[in-house]
Amino acid sequence: MLRRAFLCLTLTGMAFGVPAPEWLPQQDLSRRQEFLDRQSDWRNGAVVYQIFVDRFAPSRHLAQKRSLYAAPRHLRDWSENPQAGSYLKEAGVWSHEVDYWGGDLDSVRSRLDYLQDLGVEVVYLNPIFESLTNHKYDAWDYHKVDPVYGSRQDVADLAADLHGRKMKLMLDGVFNHVGKRSPYLKEHPDFFKWVNGQPVSWLDVENLPELQLENPKVRDFLYGSPTSVVQSYLRQEKIDGWRLDVAFDLGFRYLSELTRAAHEARPGCDIIGEIWNYPEDWYPAVDGVMNMHGRIVLLRLLEGKVRGPVASAMWESMVADSGYEHLLKAWLVLDNHDTPRLNHILKQNWQVEMARTLQFTLPGSPVIYYGSELDLPGGDDPANRAPMRWELATEQNKMLALHRKLLKIRAGEPALRIGDFRRLHSDKAFAFLRKTLSAKETIVVAANPGDQPIEEFLQLRDGKLQDVTRMVDLLGSSVAPTIYGGSIEIRLQPHQVVVLKPDVSPMPKGYDRYDRMP
């Protein structure tokens, strides 16, 4: 209920987390509209759930679809796990790329109650275009959905269902390359660069001829005209945005053109670039990046390869360099279809739990890769693309319980979605503060990834926090420091993380005189 109430307030633009003007100090008045704009923009800090369509939920119509999985495709039983296969020379792909489990857009729609109850706000689908492989990064025809997944009408129906739940839908745009069986190679040979009678391929992958974006016809076809790929799905199926594959290869000019065209087609949509680089300079060419730099800093912190204070300083530098409005929209990814699952990268349960806690409290949109909330295992491709194990979605699943707790906390705390980020100076911990214009909403996060207890003196960089205010850990621990002189002292056990909030019930004297809501 907390998540739904917050989302409703956000979507309607009502004041939440922003005190009335007459109760603000002079220096905050100029920022009030900034915070109102942040909270009314669904892209800021939204919880994203990534779905590999073939593997998310069993089809309800598999019997009618079996003919669609003719060789070289191979339909597997849902109980099987993916295995690395052999190279199929004639098809130009590996056999595990054409192994299917039968999921489709209709089966995704059948599980929306689960996603909504979990607290998901944005559903992001891996590519769905007509193509040979299960991953569909080798599109044949962008304007067609592969029949194994459904049709464009199914996309429209899924978008409508999600919108009825106050949720959003984003598709994966693979506009750097197509599949070698694409009719575009014959119909539009000038879309490609040819050498010795063969199209130049992305990273020399035989199955992925690269599009020549320097050709204005290609750009018009992909995003420039109202009937282009990017614009047509936004206008007709009413999707809410695109995640752009290998966006760093597209370059600033073409990304900027695409983003402008998308916003003209559907104002307020979201364009997210797969950028593995440092996130500086990419905004406003895209609305946000996949924050893979933030990811690697967190992983190295939890692996013990970088100390907490250094990691927090790196985040502070990234925020300063990249622009905060951009980072609020950036997707903070810890695992996805291109990486091993988090529980394969981080071997200890406490590491995974701390990583998720930090992911859900740092700036940006946290991304959950389907099944990771259930502790679904998976190493390198194709093991990281196993079918969803719905039998794990029980009340006894500790990882699912952790995700539900973190999502409930996030839904009730505006600072975690739209609040500023301030690094907290520390000798040993990874520590930071999130704040809105209301001190009652300030959140302090401190993590001890080490194997020894630590005691920390933390300067609280929020001048509205009242002296002798007690702070409580939203995660439920007994850590409950009292603010003295704008600071707290805390003791953290090995591998412990706390999410502290001022206890203003009953209201300490002073807050009611400068921190009132409208």
Residues with catalytic function: 245, 274
| Vertex 48 angle, CA 126 and 61, to 5° | 45
Please say whether the beta carbons of 317 and 301 come within 8 A.
no
Cα torsion angle, 452, 486, 321, 174, sign: positive
Helices 292-302, 349-359: inter-axial angle, 10-degree rounding: 140
Phi and psi at residue 13, in whole multiples of 5°?
A: 80, 15
Residue 116 makes CB contacts below 8 A (sequence gap 6+) with 165, 167
Alpha carbon 92 to its chain centroid, in Å, reads 31
Reading the block at residue 390, the tokens are 């719905």
| Vertex 418 angle, CA 15 and 398, to 5° | 115
Reading the block at residue 487, the tokens are 């600071």
How buried is 266 (Cβ within 10 angstroms: 0-12 exposed, 13-18 middle, 19+ buried)?
middle
Q: How far apart are CA 250 and CA 175, in angstroms?
A: 8
